[in-house]
Amino acid sequence: MKIALVTDAWAPQVNGVVRALQSTVQELRALDHEVLVIHSGEQASMPCPTYPEIALALQPFSQVRRALQGFAPDAVHIATEGPLGLAARLWCAGQGWRFTSSFHTRFAEYIAARLPVPLPVAYSFLRWFHNGAALTMVSNQPLADELRGWGFRHLVLWSRGVDSNLFRPWPDQDPAAVLPGPRPAFVYFGRVAVEKNVEDFLRLDLPGAQHVIGDGPQAAELRQRYPNVHWHGMLHGEELSRHVAAADVMIFPSKTDTLGLVVREANACGVPVAAYPVIGPQASIIDGVNGYMREDLREAALLALQLRREDCRSAALAYDWRSCTLNFLENLVPARG
């Protein structure tokens, strides 16, 4: 099958959406499907306001038109609601092509955290965008139920996997050498931005030491305000895996993530997770097995210290990218006919 994937989120961006899409494309190609990724790194672009590491295509309509006409895909999937996603949605509608979409990010909440845009206004655009799709893929049932409350239609489930070969325990390493400072080591890893609610973690009165792995628009400000926290910056690949595996607990303070792929990645390293009881982590955490969810994040963090690392690893192994990609394929629809 020839599959066109349209996304405003792609390398060199580093986030869960990009990792999910890249892993899906890799599996699709391993299954002998031909995949064309239409992304903003291919053409002239500009930095996204407040998200300078995200490139926005400057000529999305011509880029999408040329790519889709030249490739003539059997199926089109639109992964994001940015300029390229919008261009692809409008082009497909104009051609009478069917397409699928996926809801990864709470852009309405992210915009509201920065600008005085009411949630109903932002959700009206998102509803229009996704209701034009034959099917919209979401990562878990509670999220689907919430979106239906906003008027979204034709929702289907598409789970996300974890690279358990990369994210794994490192039993031969010295955790104290990787994450210096007193133990236990509590770690946040991911984007350092206002919507990730990182400061809730930094404010906690915890024993041991707190570590942040990642970067983002709020990093410089928070570094200055919390100098006693260990700041490791952006890490990749096995270096990232080693640092995560050296933690005693991973703290996931976000209340806006639709899934939180980092929860499964931490678990794959054998690390339990502490989080709020909200939709994102609820899709991955079994309370008392691979993490704890509490309104009191400190309580969840301390409880998580008691969990068995092998149980966390086992919980993550339930999510593999091959089965998730087969799920994605089942949800695709023919573009024409």
207/54: higher pLDDT? 207
175-316 has which fold?
Rossmann fold (3.40.50)
Say which CATH superfamily domain 2-161+321-331 falls into: Glycogen Phosphorylase B; (3.40.50.2000)
Burial of 227 (0-12, 13-18, 19+ CB in 10 A): exposed
Cis peptide before 12 (omega within 30 of 0): yes
Average pLDDT over residues 307-325: 97
How many C-beta neighbours within 10 Å does residue 118 have?
11
pLDDT tens digits, one per residue of 187-221 = 999 999 999 999 999 999 999 999 999 999 999 99
Could you please report the per-residue DSSP string of 9-43? Answer: --TT--SHHHHHHHHHHHHHHHTT-EEEEEEGGGS
Average pLDDT over residues 180-193: 97
Position 27 scores a pLDDT of 98
Domain boundaries, the chain: 2-161+321-331, 175-316
What band does 56 get if pLDDT is binned at 50, 70 and 90?
low
The answer to pTM > 0.85 is yes
Position 46 scores a pLDDT of 58
Q: Do domains 2-161+321-331 and 175-316 have the same CATH topology?
A: yes
Position 114 scores a pLDDT of 74
Whose structure tokens read 């059997």?
A: 74
CA distance 188 to 252: 6
What band does 110 get if pLDDT is binned at 50, 70 and 90?
confident
CA distance 195 to 127: 21
Burial of 235 (0-12, 13-18, 19+ CB in 10 A): middle
Quote the mean pLDDT of the chain: 94
What's the chain's length in residues?
A: 337
Average pLDDT over residues 242-251: 98
Percentage of the chain modeled with pLDDT above 90: 86
Position 52 scores a pLDDT of 60
Residue 53 has pLDDT above 80, yes or no: no
Residue 151 is given by DSSP the state: T
Position 109 scores a pLDDT of 79
pLDDT tens digits, one per residue of 25-49 = 999 999 999 999 999 876 655 556 5
CA distance 77 to 137: 10
Position 118 scores a pLDDT of 82
Nearest to 317 by CA among 287, 293, 288, 284: 284
Whose structure tokens read 């966390």?
A: 312
CA distance 193 to 172: 33
